Amino acid sequence: MKPIYRIFLMCLIAIGAVGCIQEEPLNAECDIIAVTLPGNVLNRAPRIDNDKVVLIVKNDVSLLALAPEFELTPGATISPASGTTLNFIFPQTYTVTSEDGKWSKRYTVEVQRNNTISLDYGFEHVRQISALGGACHYDEFYETGTAGNETLVWATANSAFAMTLQGSTPNTFPTYQGDGGVNGKCAVLVTRGTGSFGARVGKPIAAGSLFIGNFDGTNALKNPLQATHFGTPFYNIPSTLSGYYKYIPGDTYCEADANGNFLPVPGKEDMFNIYAVLFESVPGMEWLDGTNVLAADNPNIIATAEIPDRHASDDWVNFTVPFKFRDGKTIDPDKLAAGNYSITVVMSSSQDGDFFCGAIGSTLCVDELLITCLTDN
């Protein structure tokens, strides 16, 4: 009988070994979670991406000696150390190392002050961003100033689209640079299907989008309307928005029903949108998002420029629309000088795309956008 007991004993030991949860491994992540600057010097909340931090400071703050303090993934370390005083005339590089010591990530930390964005956009400059370990590439538009310096990076939802595994080359993404612009290249925005992955997470389409602000890809699945952070500080009084567009709606307009099924709506045609919004950035609403960017009851919106008679067209359509101030809203010169106002320009190939309604294939081309400002500012 003895061997039987031995077998049972072995089994018991084995089951014991299987059943034990080991001690929690050390954290492998190395993120900057929060950044603070001593004193009341920030003009906007810090923008923290996966490998970049942008700090927008008030106009009277010197960039020569700043000592940002960082909150990191628990257990991670940063070099140079948190609180080190550095010169931020040019961006600084920090390295964060994970608690388990196996991973590290380099962050560029950039401090902006009185950063005047360019006002005319030809969409001539793109760089390719690689995703999924090099399996796909998408375009990122940026604008340069007269000195060739980069003044603005346009935001898109391309990074979230990469995750749906439907993209490969830049022109398979919702937003890319196309040929045949009014002058040179143009921006092309296409409403795309998001495949089985997108359908499973209840997001069957991705409208082509291009906007001034930044896109929070981390929360794009959880809360897509709030993933678009619209706006950048603006120091001028805008008067008109002008440019050129071409628009071909997709064949079948669809809406998601209550169960998340994407169903055709007979007789309905897709429509694009291009608009600009000037708003006051206040604590609690530093940026606008998909839930409130055009809301009539948003008290922080100062003026909007919208195209009233948008229509489908195979040829370039020129438009010039004024910034219309909302009732009772004016610009306070002190707030303007202090950088309390923000502006955004938003383009979408399906105007209700943020609610996942639209027609796959709807294509909007945009070129030579221009924000005209009052010259006496």
Partner 1 sequence: MKIMKKFSICLGSLLIGSLLSMQAVAGNNKKYSNLLSGLGLEYEVNAGTSIGGASPLPLPAEIRHIDSYNPKLNLQLGATVTKWLDPDKVWGAAIGVRVESRGMETKARVKNYGMEILDNQKKLSGRWTGRVHTKYQSQQLVFPITAVFRAHPRLKINLGPYLAYAFSNDFDGYVYDGYLREGNPTGDKYIFEDDSKASYDFGSELRHFQWGMQAGVAWTAYRHLLVNANLTWGCNDIFKSSFKTVSFNLYPIYLNVGFGYLF
Site string for partner 1, 215-234 (x = CB under 8 A): --xxxxxx------------
User: How far apart (Å, rounded) are the C-alpha atoms in residues 278 and 308?
Assistant: 18
User: How far apart (Å, rounded) are the C-alpha atoms in residues 30 and 240?
Assistant: 44
* Identity of the residue, 3 or 148, whose beta carbon is nearer to partner 1 in the bound complex: 3
User: How far apart (Å, rounded) are the C-alpha atoms in residues 137 and 189?
Assistant: 16
Q: Residue 358 in contact with residue 173, Cβ under 8 Å?
A: no
11 part of the interface to partner 1, by CB under 8 A: yes
For residue 196, the minimal CB distance to partner 1 (Å) is 6
Residues 20-49 that bind partner 1 (CB under 8 A): 20-25, 28-31
User: How far apart (Å, rounded) are the C-alpha atoms in residues 214 and 235?
Assistant: 19
3 part of the interface to partner 1, by CB under 8 A: yes
* Identity of the residue, 116 or 169, whose beta carbon is nearer to partner 1 in the bound complex: 169
What does the longest C-alpha to C-alpha distance in the chain come to?
A: 102
Structure tokens at 207: 């409208």
Total of residues contacting partner 1 (CB under 8 A): 48
For residue 53, the minimal CB distance to partner 1 (Å) is 15
**Looking at 307-352, which runs of residues are DSSP E strands?**
313-322, 324-325, 341-348
For residue 364, the minimal CB distance to partner 1 (Å) is 24
The piece of 61-69, 144-152, 193-201, 246-254 that touches partner 1 (CB under 8 A) is: 193-201
Burial-class residue 258 by CB neighbours within 10 Å (0-12, 13-18, 19+). Answer: exposed
Among 80, 202, 322, 361, the residue binding partner 1 under the rule CB under 8 A is 202
Tokens 């001593």 map to which residue? 38
17 part of the interface to partner 1, by CB under 8 A: yes
Site string for partner 1, 46-75 (x = CB under 8 A): ----x-------------------------
261 part of the interface to partner 1, by CB under 8 A: no
The piece of 83-91, 117-125, 178-186, 196-204 that touches partner 1 (CB under 8 A) is: 196-204
296 part of the interface to partner 1, by CB under 8 A: no
126 part of the interface to partner 1, by CB under 8 A: no
Task: Answer positive or negative: Cα dihedral of 40, 45, 47, 48.
Answer: positive
Among 7, 64, 89, 337, the residue binding partner 1 under the rule CB under 8 A is 7
Task: Answer positive or negative: Cα dihedral of 328, 334, 336, 338.
Answer: negative
Burial-class residue 58 by CB neighbours within 10 Å (0-12, 13-18, 19+). Answer: middle
The piece of 57-65, 101-109, 285-293, 342-350 that touches partner 1 (CB under 8 A) is: 101-109
Distances, alpha carbon 323 to alpha carbons 46, 232, 241, in Å = 29, 17, 7
Q: Provide CB contacts within 8 A for 287, sequence distance 6+.
A: 213, 229, 230, 231, 281, 342
195 part of the interface to partner 1, by CB under 8 A: yes
Residues that bind partner 1 (CB under 8 A): 1, 3-4, 7, 11, 14, 17-25, 28-31, 50, 98, 103-105, 131-133, 135-136, 159-160, 163-166, 168, 195-197, 200-202, 217-222
